[in-house]
Structure 1
Amino acid sequence: MNGTIQPTLIVLGATGTIGAHVVARAVAQGRRVVAVARDADALATLRAEHGSRVTPLVADITTDADAAALAASVQRLPGPPAGAVIAAIRGRSETGRVLDAPADFLRRRLDEDLIPHLVAARHLLPLLAAQPRAGYVLVGGPGAAQPWAGYGHHSIGAAALRMLARVLHEEARTLPVRVQMLAIDSPVRTAANAGHACTQWPDADAIARHALRLVDGAVPGDAALLRFPLGAAARPPGLSDDLDVGVTPCADAQPHHDDARALLRRIAARHPSPQEFRS
């Protein structure tokens, strides 16, 4: 990296689809990465794959206390200080109609998909403030712009996360740290779904590369929210890679439209009982 010591990159949700690609791309660029996730075994696999440039930290970021403990752990690590964060946090994937579920079902989605982003930002943004041109990027998933049939609770959480990113973008100007969201409005193409992924789905590695450019301040402009691919219009999300149940509603193929309609009929025909939403 032309002799310059790169600040440490923190990746939240490092073992997820996007997070793992961010870690791989960052290591390939010679960065030191602190990989944060709940799954200790998955983090160990990530470390074994990428070597000593990856420092795994097991953390379940659900409360302010969790996030404070994470920030303290990061500060104790040897090496360059933290100068960038990419947050690709996502909770469990569940399906069902919002009208059929108890209020606790939606509350749990917000607790897993939204609150961790808030508490992480509250405690990690101050760590970045001492570094020049520090960046904090949230990665947002599909469903925020259009209701996602069968996954309306995810749509509500995704929309709330976009507003949180806008608020953080404005409030972080006083630190100063650049906070932005990279919004992904469609499913993601990966090696795991390459056999049936639609051609217009963005590639997970391309998303990772752009997230790193964004966190480095290499993308012109200071917008709070950027869609990927750049300039892409919002569109209904269809099915994401990790919620894929065997059909792929591609915009350029009529048979896939038929499959999508069949899926929605199956979802509508099966109304999960409240017991299925209890933890």
Structure 2
Amino acid sequence: MNAIARPQALVLGASGTVGFGVVGALLEVGSPVLAVGRDGPRMRALSEHFAEEPGLELMHSGCIFSDDDAAKLVKTIRARGRPLHAVFASLTSPLEPGRLLDKPADALRHKLEMDLIPHLAAARALLPLLSEYEGAAHYVLVGGPFAERGWAGYGHSSVTGAAMRMMAQVLHEEAQAMGVRVQLLSIDSPICTPSNAVNACAEWPTALSVGRSAVSLLSRGGKPRSIVSYSPDSASQPTQTLFSDFPTSHRDDATAA
């Protein structure tokens, strides 16, 4: 582990809508970011949008579908020699409407393989890496709507989201022995985007608002909960940074001077 390099926050699914917002929120509070996503137009848009941000690094990676995929990603990250202080995971397939009774059982199996198994594979590989960080380490999952109260029109997403909540609670308990705080940020409404803004409800959060709420979990006091619901109160623009521009030893020297 490189003792000089500032630790980064890893954003899995950075090419997605929520991932974009998490990247922006992390940069706002001064955290270096390693944004991981598939090479394509959305990663290029991310790079262009934050072109003036020296704290952002991009890593192109294929989708995580298995333990082997996750292990390859961790091997690449380790080779960089730079520690991680947090992981934000926003991995999901496109939202598709449909009733459970109208689709074959294999449709639910496919949804679980696309939206749940990748999260477990990523956590199994990345939690041991995070546990090596000497400070407070965080693993934040971002969950979408339909999970707490099932929607008949989005049955497969509802079932998968409910399974995600249970997995987060189990990982929260299991990771305590590793010194890593695992939490799920639960988003109870769709995200407002440029493409749906005309029909969006006033209470729908933006991707940046969700990102700010997720990043706020890094600095919240009190007993941590495994599942935290999104709140507009936690999504306001930060008034101060959470991370210094200098490694600890350099900051101490500057203070002494």
Regarding TM over 0.5, the answer is yes
For 1:11, the aligned partner's letter is V
Q: Which amino acid aligns with 1:218?
A: R
Q: What code does the residue aligned with 2:35 have?
A: A
Q: Which residue of 2 aligns with 1:222?
A: 224
Question: Distance between the aligned counterparts of 1:118 and 1:178, measured in 2?
Answer: 15
Q: 1:230 to 1:180 in 2, by over 3 A?
A: farther
Partners in 2 of 1:68 and 1:22 — Cα distance? 23
- CA deviations 1:165-201 (Å, max 9, x no partner) are 0000000011010000100111222344333321122
* Counterpart AA for 2:117: I
Contact 1:43 1:56 in 2 (8 A): no
| 1:239-254 equivalences in 2 (<5 Å) | none
Deviation readout 1:56-106 (Å, 9 max, x if unpaired): 23221000000000111111125x311100111111322222112112111
Q: How many residues align?
A: 226
| Alignment-mate amino acid for residue 65 of structure 2 | T
Question: What does 1:26-45 correspond to in 2, within 5 Å?
Answer: 26-45=26-45
CA contact (8 A) 2:39 2:60 kept: no
Moved more, 49-58 or 148-157: 49-58
Deviates more, 1:115-124 or 1:68-77: 68-77
* Structure 2: distance between partners of 1:174 and 1:156: 29
In structure 2, how many angstroms separate the alpha carbons of the residues matched to 1:29 and 1:217?
11
| C-alpha contact 2:20 2:208 (8 A) present in aligned 1 | no
AA aligned to 2:103 is A
Residue 40 of structure 1 aligns with an amino acid whose one-letter code is: G
Cα gap change, 1:49 to 1:43, in 2 (>3 Å):
same
- 1:1-279 to structure 2, matched below 5 A, reads 6-51=6-51, 52=54, 53-78=56-81, 80-131=82-133, 132-214=135-217, 216-229=218-231
Tell me if the contact between 2:141 and 2:184 (Cα under 8 Å) persists in the aligned partners.
yes
Secondary structure of the equivalent of 1:217?
Answer: coil
Cα distance change on mapping 1:75 and 1:89 into 2, 3 Å? same
- Deviation per CA, 1:113-172: give whole Å up to 9, x if none: 100100000000111112210000000000011221221000000000000000000000
Quick check: 2:8–2:84 contact (8 Å CA) kept in 1? Answer: yes
Paired with 1:161 and 1:217, the residues of 2 have a C-alpha distance of: 23
Percent sequence identity over matched residues?
A: 44
User: What code does the residue aligned with 2:163 have?
Assistant: A
Distance across 2 between alignment mates of 1:21 and 1:120 = 20
Q: Distance in 2 between matches of 1:193 and 1:230?
A: 20
The residue number in structure 2 matching 1:266 is: none
SS across alignment from 1:22:
helix
- Contact 1:36–1:59 (Cα < 8 Å) also in 2: no
Q: TM-score scaled by structure 2?
A: 0.81
Larger CA deviation: 20-29 vs 177-186: 20-29
Q: Which sections of structure 2, spanning at least 5 residues, go unmatched?
A: 234-257
Asked if structure 2 preserves the Cα contact closer than 8 Å seen for 1:44 and 1:56, the reply is: no
Residues 123 and 16 (structure 1 numbering): CA distance in 2 closer, same or farther, change over 3 Å? same
